[in-house]
Amino acid sequence: MERQAAYLRNALFDQGYLDEQFLQLEDLQDQANPHFVEEVVKLFYTDSVRLIQSIELTLKNTPRDFEKLDKIMHQFKGSTTSIGAKKVKKECTQFQEYCNVGNVEGCIREFQEVKQEHAALKRKLENYFQVFHVVHLAREAR
């Protein structure tokens, strides 16, 4: 199980889903706060749902308010940076670039990418934490 946890974790880095900021989070985790990383990730996902919905809504309104879209995305991107969500962050940057030039089609298309990466990372992290829990409980039992 431990090997599986390590494998899953390494894969996330190797495949570019996570960057070194995630390592910073792991460094902050300790005996006093053994689930800190998971807590932060959970917070990210609850918080980002709100932002995604907001972008969704703003994208529907015409004429498109690119300034507002950029603002919301800036917040969202900030969160992705803070947890080390590398791929999601990349899509956010792309989205902002489309905003800056007022490319509606690009924004809409790119937003789908953002949501996809966001969901993909969530699945992978959930999977990883599930295994991590088992390992952690096993360690505590020793």
Residues at the contact surface with another protein, assessed by CB under 8 A? 21, 24-25, 27-28, 33, 36, 39-40, 43-44, 47, 74-75, 77-79, 81-83
Nearer to another protein (CB atom), residue 19 or residue 110: 19
The half-sphere exposure of 123 on its side-chain side, counting CA atoms within 13 A, is: 5
- Measured CA to CA, the distance from residue 14 to residue 80 in angstroms comes to 18
Q: Kindly state the smallest distance separating residue 65's Cβ from another protein, in Å.
A: 15
- Measured CA to CA, the distance from residue 133 to residue 43 in angstroms comes to 18
Q: Kindly state the smallest distance separating residue 29's Cβ from another protein, in Å.
A: 9
Let me know how many helices (H) and strands (E) the chain has, helices first: 6, 0
Q: Kindly state the smallest distance separating residue 28's Cβ from another protein, in Å.
A: 5
Nearer to another protein (CB atom), residue 2 or residue 47: 47
Nearer to another protein (CB atom), residue 72 or residue 131: 72
Q: In the block, which residue shows the tokens 């950029």?
A: 70
Q: What would the two tokens of residue 18 be? A: 């996570």
Q: Kindly state the smallest distance separating residue 75's Cβ from another protein, in Å.
A: 7
